Structure 1
Amino acid sequence: MTELGQYLREQRQAQGISLEELQRTTKIQARYLEAIEEGHYDALPGQFYARAFVRQYAEALGLSAEEVFQAYEKEIPQPTVPDEIPSRMARSKHVSTQKSTWARALPKVLTAVVIVAALIALYMLVIRFLPSDDGERSDDASPSVQTENMAPEEQPDQATEEDVTQGNGTDSTEDASPDPSEDQEEQANEPTLTAEAGEGGIDTVYTLQDNAEQFVLTFEVSGRAYIGVRAPGGSQIIAQKTLAPEEGAWEVDVSSYETINLRLPRAYDTKITVNGVALSYDVDANQQKDQTLLIKKTSMPDAGES
């Protein structure tokens, strides 16, 4: 077994991931993953696949593939350069041919753009100086104005309704004013997330107080990172993913659990939201990059209990 293979196996076993689980994540057959751990690169389909498979293996565990390549460069087979690479002269001729084609087509394109711009400018000038029919439209609209002005009798009725409203002592502004007690009740019902120091391999224990039945985790990453969502104890995997920034947010519904375990080898790259509440790392993720968190969901206390 090579040092690289031993290192990858230790990292996989530390995260509690089997070869079968790693096969589902990387889409690489388990026998090839085992060959990488044993250092039997000749068992792979070709030397070209050695670096590609090692990269996928490392990234699935949340490791930096570039750091792994730098540390174990001598152990990883180097891909051979194919014989059928076109010569530099042939490539330069192909590039120069493409450039000459564009050079010939460029004047025609510029001429077409100028003609289109001139037509658009001419069209705008014609529209601007054509006589408008605003006068006719204003004449057509005048009878409606006169009709509105010819019906002043309806105004006293409206005033009477307003007087009746004022006589009854009704104030619309009072009805529209918000009730402070309702605002306080809404604030009291908002979910909260508190943190305390963990123990026994758990870095931080978070308690979510929320009366909602749902228990949803949302993950976003600034760099490619592994995320493992597990049942309490960390043995049963609920969901796991090596998330890339371009994939956007990843949502995991764990409503059937009251407590979950999170495995985050690259916590500094991982942003977590729990039922819409942003999780703030109690242990600085830049100081401790690899973290294990425990999140417990409880109901909020009644107003009479607080």
Structure 2
Amino acid sequence: MSEIGKTLKSARIEKGYTLDDLQQITKIQKKYLIAIEEENFAALPGVFYVRAFIKQCAETVGLNPAELLSQLKSQEQPVETVEEPKTRTAATKKDLQRTDRFNHFLNLLPTIIIVAVVVIILGSIYFVAWNNHQKNSSTQEIQSSKVSVSSSSVKSQKKSANSATKKSSQTSSSSVKQSSTNKKSAKQKTSQKIKLTSNSGQSFVYELTTAKKQISKVKLTASAKAWSAISIDGSQQWQGTLTAGESHELSLPADATKLSFNLGNSKATSITINGKKFNFLKDNSTLTVRTLTVNIQSQD
């Protein structure tokens, strides 16, 4: 164990925290806390989470996260490799090979030019002949179509008159149905409201007011690599890491009263509740790791 893990573990013990206590406070899984203290960073979802979790743990146990992140950065610096210098003989051989290839290309250049000119001439002849053939065939098609159009125009006029009468009656009935459907959907969209009720550090509590049994689905979408977890009424239903463009949708029971979201990269995560975007970034958009609690208030 090196200094970063040892320092975090010592500070945690001094605070009197167990790993379970630290998991409850930071919402970081216990296996990741153990991996950080043992400096097994490969067990974490990625480099971003190594930095984010170390910063959050340091702040929780009263350490300066900047110092630990500086140590981590110094450990991550790649070792520069020094290439052995090429010998003068090898360089000379490569130069001679390049010269030979260039001379060979110059010798073939006249032949290449002649072949290219011949191909261009043959292509031009073929294009002109094909274009003339297309013009002749299109002229014949136009003449034959004029005859068929004149005979079918009378029939189409009769059909259009009959279909216009039917369409007018169908349009009037469908417009009534559409207007009633639009009114219902408008009511559903405006009846769902969400507001912030309290905030403490990285934790935010909201109240969602919605029509009774309206909430049915919650969807998480990531624009970059992001770890997230969803709990319903205190029971975790899903947790995982989404890559850019991925999403996860979860169906809710009708009697659900509380939603909880643990976001490891909230800036790259968007949430929709029943198809409506939950704009939580307006409440302190600088935070990366955050916990969201949504209390559901149903109206009849």
TM-score by length of 1: 0.58
**Greater share of residues in helix:** 2
Q: Which has the higher contact order (CA 8 A, sep 6+)?
A: 1
1:137–1:263 CA distance, 2 compared to 1 (3 A): closer
Cross-structure match for 2:127: 124
1:186 is the counterpart of 2:185:
yes
Equivalent residue for 2:140, pick from 118, 121, 136: 136
Whether the 8 Å CA contact 1:267–1:290 is kept in 2: the answer is yes
Deviation digits for residues 59-95 of structure 1, max 9, x if unmatched?
Answer: 446728998885114884877778xx752428x96xx
Partners of 1:287 and 1:4 lie apart in 2 by 26
Whether the 8 Å CA contact 1:213–1:255 is kept in 2: the answer is yes
Whichever residue aligns with residue 185 of structure 1, its letter is K
Deviation digits for residues 220-271 of structure 1, max 9, x if unmatched?
Answer: 23x43332223445xx5432233333xx122141424542211124323322
Cross-structure match for 2:60: none
Whether the 8 Å CA contact 1:215–1:255 is kept in 2: the answer is yes
Whichever residue aligns with residue 63 of structure 1, its letter is A
5+ unaligned residues in a row in structure 2: which ranges? 13-18, 56-65
Cross-structure match for 1:198: 198
Whichever residue aligns with residue 125 of structure 1, its letter is V
Partners of 1:240 and 1:116 lie apart in 2 by 63
Partners of 2:141 and 2:240 lie apart in 1 by 65
Cross-structure match for 1:214: 216
Cross-structure match for 2:226: 225
Partners of 2:195 and 2:28 lie apart in 1 by 25
Cross-structure match for 1:17: 29
Partners of 1:133 and 1:282 lie apart in 2 by 64
Query: What is the Cα deviation at residue 195 of structure 1?
Result: 1.8
**Greater share of residues in strand:** 2
Whether the 8 Å CA contact 2:230–2:237 is kept in 1: the answer is yes
Cross-structure match for 2:262: 263
Whichever residue aligns with residue 261 of structure 2, its letter is L
Secondary structure at the counterpart of residue 89 of structure 1: coil
Cross-structure match for 1:244: 243
Secondary structure at the counterpart of residue 86 of structure 2: helix
1:298–1:114 CA distance, 2 compared to 1 (3 A): farther
Partners of 2:277 and 2:132 lie apart in 1 by 59
Whichever residue aligns with residue 217 of structure 2, its letter is F
Cross-structure match for 1:276: 275
Cross-structure match for 2:63: none
Whether the 8 Å CA contact 1:4–1:72 is kept in 2: the answer is yes
Query: What is the Cα deviation at residue 272 of structure 1?
Result: 1.8
Whether the 8 Å CA contact 1:272–1:278 is kept in 2: the answer is yes
> Mean alpha-carbon deviation: is it higher for 123-132 or for 4-13?
4-13
Whichever residue aligns with residue 86 of structure 2, its letter is M
Cross-structure match for 1:53: 42
Partners of 1:268 and 1:197 lie apart in 2 by 21
Whichever residue aligns with residue 52 of structure 2, its letter is L
1:63 is the counterpart of 2:52:
yes
> How many pairs does the alignment contain?
257
Whether the 8 Å CA contact 1:193–1:209 is kept in 2: the answer is yes
Secondary structure at the counterpart of residue 252 of structure 2: coil
Query: What is the Cα deviation at residue 16 of structure 1?
Result: 4.2
Whether the 8 Å CA contact 1:217–1:251 is kept in 2: the answer is yes
RMSD value over aligned CA atoms?
5.0
1:293–1:255 CA distance, 2 compared to 1 (3 A): same
1:254–1:68 CA distance, 2 compared to 1 (3 A): farther
Partners of 1:145 and 1:38 lie apart in 2 by 84
Whichever residue aligns with residue 221 of structure 2, its letter is F
Query: What is the Cα deviation at residue 292 of structure 1?
Result: 1.3
Whether the 8 Å CA contact 1:203–1:293 is kept in 2: the answer is yes
Secondary structure at the counterpart of residue 87 of structure 1: coil
1:129–1:274 CA distance, 2 compared to 1 (3 A): same
Whichever residue aligns with residue 123 of structure 1, its letter is Y
Whether the 8 Å CA contact 2:233–2:258 is kept in 1: the answer is yes
Secondary structure at the counterpart of residue 286 of structure 1: coil
